């Protein structure tokens, strides 16, 4: 296989797309390529956009992209869709909604659906961010559905996280999981053309203030209103993101955030590598199936057996 790395670094869209496919297919060759592009990463600003289904995340992403393009900034978009792995229906919808961005060679859109577990998706999303970053994208926008604990891992890859809420979707602050307050750098109440938007803004603002009183935070989480379909409030939203980016840089927090991110990424790579190697060793010789027979026949129990396996593993070495 050709070495895709020089081409990606020179800005070949074809090579970038190929490398992303390798990552998605968990092709073993991708690790070597990812290692080689790694020193060229760290320049892009990663913007996470998350929120309940249908709140307007894709529409917002499209409008934000338009604002960034007016500034001549290049954009990579990753639409993560953990909820519908097989249909592709939502992805198609995203594609149509982001149509405008599509004709522009400086906007690269990639949809990603889960194959296995969400942990795997968080890993491959991180890898795709790295590829787009090394390619030279100024901004990388990651859209994820939901703000449950599972998605938090995906969002952790972002420098700035926008949580999108909308009136009339059962989106109340009570419905928000505890983790959401932790990850939101900015709240957007979209569909402000609908009734209930102002009430939702007030509700979220009160909650943000309460939260700020409990934990003294240097960053005041803004709560903004948008009507994405009419492109209202998107300019201010991008300005608020700029503001957050500046805050991260000037307060030295960006360094801390990236250190923590690098730690998490390296740790999850390590876990993956350990479990792959160790399981290969344990499952390779067929004795594991004999053990299951023993467990079923009550000759052994799984708790003691697992402990024994691990002990043997380490005493071997």
Ligand X SMILES: Nc1nc2c(ncn2[C@@H]2O[C@H](COP(=O)(O)OP(=O)(O)OP(=O)(O)O)[C@@H](O)[C@H]2O)c(=O)[nH]1
Whether the CB-CB separation of 142 and 48 falls below 8 Å is answered with yes
Distances (CA, A) of 247 to 111, 243, 279: 30, 6, 44
Query: CA 86: distance to chain centroid?
Result: 19
Q: Closest separation between CB of residue 234 and ligand X, Å?
A: 10
Q: Of Mg ion, ligand X, none, which one does residue 127 interact with (CB within 5 to 8 Å by kind)?
A: none
- Is 58 a residue that touches ligand X (CB under 6 A)? yes
Give the HSE-up count for residue 32: Cα atoms under 13 Å, Cβ half-sphere: 8
> What residue has token string 């060679």?
105
> Are the beta carbons of 311 and 282 closer than 8 angstroms?
no
Residue 95 binding ligand X, by CB under 6 A = no
Q: Distance (Å, rounded) from C-alpha 26 to C-alpha 272?
A: 12
| 244 lies in the site for ligand X, by CB under 6 A | no
Considering the complex, state which of residue 44 and residue 49 has its C-beta at the smaller distance from ligand X.
49
Residues 19-58 that bind Mg ion (CB under 5 A): 57-58
Binding mask 175-214 for ligand X (x = CB under 6 A): ---------------xx-xx--------------------
Partner from ligand X, Mg ion, none contacting 238, C-beta within 5 to 8 A by type: none
How far is the C-alpha of 89 from the C-alpha of 87, rounded, in Å? 5
The site partner of 193 among ligand X, Mg ion, none (C-beta below 5 to 8 Å per kind) is ligand X
Q: How far is the CB of 166 from ligand X (least distance, A)?
A: 7
- Least Å from the CB of residue 16 to ligand X: 23
Q: Which is nearer to ligand X, 130 or 191 (CB)?
A: 191
Give the interface with ligand X as residue ranges (CB under 6 A): 53-59, 90, 97, 145, 190-191, 193-194, 227-229
């Amino acid at each position: 296989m050709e070495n895709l790395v020089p081409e990606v670094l020179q800005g070949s869209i074809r090579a970038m797309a190929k490398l992303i496919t390798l990552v998605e297919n968990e092709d073993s060759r991708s690790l070597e390529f990812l290692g080689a592009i790694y020193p060229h990463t760290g320049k892009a600003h990663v913007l996470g956009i998350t929120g309940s289904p249908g709140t307007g995340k894709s529409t917002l992403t499209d409008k934000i992209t338009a604002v960034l393009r007016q500034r001549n900034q290049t954009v990579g978009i990753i639409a993560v869709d953990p909820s519908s792995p097989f249909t592709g229906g939502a992805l198609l919808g995203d594609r149509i909604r982001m149509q405008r961005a599509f004709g522009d060679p400086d906007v690269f859109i990639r949809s990603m659906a889960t194959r296995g577990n969400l942990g795997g998706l968080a890993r491959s999303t991180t890898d795709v961010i790295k590829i787009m970053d090394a390619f030279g994208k100024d901004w990388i926008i990651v859209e994820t559905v939901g703000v449950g604990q599972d998605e938090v891992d995906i969002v952790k890859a972002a420098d700035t996280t926008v949580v999108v809420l909308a009136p009339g979707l059962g989106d109340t602050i009570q419905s928000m999981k505890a983790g959401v307050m932790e990850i939101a750098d900015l709240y957007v109440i979209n569909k402000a053309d609908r009734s209930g938007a102002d009430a939702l803004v007030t509700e979220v603002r009160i909650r943000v203030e309460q939260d700020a009183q409990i934990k003294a935070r240097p960053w005041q989480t803004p709560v903004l209103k948008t009507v994405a379909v009419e492109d209202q409030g998107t300019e201010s939203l991008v300005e608020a993101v700029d503001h957050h980016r500046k805050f991260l840089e000037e307060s030295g927090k960006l360094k801390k955030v990236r250190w923590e991110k690098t730690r998490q990424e390296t740790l999850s790579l390590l876990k993956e590598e350990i479990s792959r190697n160790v399981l290969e060793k344990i499952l390779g010789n067929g004795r594991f199936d004999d053990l299951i027979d023993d467990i079923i026949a009550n000759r052994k129990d799984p708790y003691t057996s697992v402990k024994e396996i691990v002990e043997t593993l380490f005493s071997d070495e």
